[in-house]
């Protein structure tokens, strides 16, 4: 018998100004948000009134699990020094501030290498990044939807990345300082089978720390990262709910709309988890 949906930690990606209030508006016990501009290189900031300490206290009082999503511009895998070096710097800044607000993890995309590069250079750049970053909260590497040169679109690439990171000094994987975030839209668009992806990822990483439960506007294998509200896209509803059930991890929806739309998505998911 499956657990009641009441036992699941479900939530949404929300605006960063007041994530505690945003969570309450959605009936959520998990939130994810940015620290500053998701498309820029500026040093991260806390928009919450009172700053990092106030947000940490308010989230704790509300029983809220907070996750931070790193800016999309980060790419620690690339051989392009003008991108990789600033990415490492910004990742550490994001990590430092995520720790200050009491985040349960910092989510970052796997990145990609240049077309002319050996993918092995990207895996090794990830290893170096992990070694040189002070991992104050778990660094959760997310699978991505497209790109032939991506580090985390395909299972074979994820396996090679994990193998490289597992050799990093201090054993960050074994120590729980590096984990995995599984995105259902990205997996679907990346050509992965949602019926088996949880078992396949767990066989590689040994863990799934967070699920991004998103439907997809596009067909399987499209490589398109376009999220849809749950039940309104091209992913089989039972398969999507099955990923959440099998992963057994906290869940964040990154779907279009505001509190009303996210509340409907969470109700959709609770109904299927109880089914």
Question: In the chain, how long is the greatest CA-to-CA distance?
Answer: 52
Q: Residue by residue, what is the 3-state secondary structure of 106-149?
A: EEEECCECCCCCCHHHHHHHHHHHHHHCCCCCCEEEECCCCCCC
C-beta separation of 268 from 262 below 8 A: no
Assign 154 to helix, strand or coil.
coil
CB atoms within 10 A of CB 217: 19
- Tokens 């668009």, residue located: 189
Residue among 221, 132, 211 nearest 179 (CA)? 211
Distance between CA atoms of residues 215 and 72, nearest Å: 20
C-beta separation of 183 from 212 below 8 A: yes
Collect all residues with Cβ–Cβ distance below 8 Å to 264 and sequence separation of at least 6. 229
Is the whole model's pTM more than 0.95, yes or no?
yes
Ordered mean pLDDT values, 10 residues apiece, the chain (275 residues): 66 98 98 98 98 98 98 97 98 98 98 96 98 98 96 98 97 96 98 98 98 98 97 98 98 98 98 88
CB atoms within 10 A of CB 88: 17
> What's the pLDDT score for residue 220?
97
Torsion of CA 30, 35, 38, 39, to 10 degrees: 180
> What's the pLDDT score for residue 7?
84
Spell out a b/e string for 69-79, using b for 16 or more CB atoms within 10 Å of the CB, else e: bbbeebbbbbe
C-beta separation of 92 from 137 below 8 A: no
Question: How many residues comprise the chain?
Answer: 275
Question: What are the structural domains of the chain?
Answer: 7-273 (3.20.20.150)
> What's the pLDDT score for residue 1?
34
> What's the pLDDT score for residue 6?
59
> What's the pLDDT score for residue 2?
44
The number of C-alpha atoms within 13 Å of 9 and in the hemisphere containing its C-beta is: 19
Assign 17 to helix, strand or coil.
coil
Collect all residues with Cβ–Cβ distance below 8 Å to 242 and sequence separation of at least 6. 194, 195
């Amino acid at each position: 018998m499956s657990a009641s949906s009441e036992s699941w930690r479900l939530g949404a990606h929300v605006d960063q100004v007041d994530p505690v209030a945003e969570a309450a508006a959605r009936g959520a016990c998990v939130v994810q948000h940015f620290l500053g501009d998701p498309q820029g290189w500026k040093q991260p900031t806390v928009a919450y009134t009172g700053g990092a300490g106030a947000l940490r206290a308010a989230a704790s009082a509300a029983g809220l699990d907070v996750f931070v999503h790193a800016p999309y511009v980060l790419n620690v895998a690339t051989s392009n020094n003008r991108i990789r070096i600033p990415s490492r710097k910004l990742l550490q800044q994001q990590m430092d501030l995520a720790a200050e607000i009491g985040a349960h993890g910092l989510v970052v995309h796997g990145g990609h290498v240049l077309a002319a590069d050996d993918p092995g250079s990207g895996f090794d750049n990830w290893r170096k990044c992990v070694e040189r970053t002070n991992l104050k909260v778990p660094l959760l590497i997310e699978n991505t939807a497209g790109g032939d040169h991506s580090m985390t679109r395909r299972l074979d690439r994820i396996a090679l990345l994990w193998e490289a990171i597992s050799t990093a000094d201090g054993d960050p994987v074994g120590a729980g300082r590096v984990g995995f975030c599984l995105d259902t839209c990205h997996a679907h668009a990346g050509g992965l089978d949602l019926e088996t992806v949880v078992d396949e990822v767990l066989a590689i990483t040994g863990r799934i720390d967070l699920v991004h439960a998103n439907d997809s506007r596009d067909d399987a294998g499209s490589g398109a990262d376009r999220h849809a509200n749950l039940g309104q896209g091209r992913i089989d509803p039972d398969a999507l709910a099955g990923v959440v059930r099998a992963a057994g991890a906290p869940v964040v929806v990154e779907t279009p709309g505001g509190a009303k739309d996210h509340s409907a998505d969470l109700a959709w998911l609770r109904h299927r988890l109880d089914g």
